[in-house]
Amino acid sequence: MQIEPLAVNAVVCQEVLTEATGLLSAIRIFDTLTIGSDFAHFYVLTTAVSNPGDRAEHVLKVTMNRWGGEEVASAPEYRFTYGYNVDFSSPGGFRLTTEFNVDTRPLGPLGRFMVWVFLDGAPVAKAPVTLRR
């Protein structure tokens, strides 16, 4: 039986820093990116929080799609299990940093896109991003 997550969030940003303690910092969060070359470079920080006791293996996939739905870039699927810092009766957590370096030349006119996060094949989070020159 599949257990639904408590929350899944996606943040689009310029950089993700990992501190010595393991904490993450999203730097320069944005929804519009002005690019000066043929490539749009950004990161997506995904956080997922499980319901207590979810010990199953899961698959996370992050894609960038045109506003109408066509996928234009994606990262490889990532298999994971939730981590539990306290105990299995507390919510578990997982964080994934995904780097995108999208060649915009085949995209034609730039504009609005959507970053999607899929957990076990189901869409669970999204974040809009507008690309412009």
Return the structure tokens found at 90.
């507390």
Class for domain 7-132, per CATH?
A: mainly beta
Tokens 């408590």 belong to residue: 6
Phi, psi of 108 (to 5 degrees): 75, -145
In whole angstroms, what is the distance from residue 71 CA to residue 64 CA?
A: 6
38-60 pLDDT per residue, tens: 999 999 999 999 988 898 999 99
59-114 pLDDT per residue, tens: 999 999 999 889 999 999 999 999 987 777 889 999 999 999 999 999 988 999 99
State pTM to two decimals. Answer: 0.92
Map out the domains of the chain as residue ranges.
Answer: 7-132
In whole angstroms, what is the distance from residue 61 CA to residue 57 CA?
A: 14
pLDDT score at 41: 97
User: Which amino acid makes up residue 11?
Assistant: V
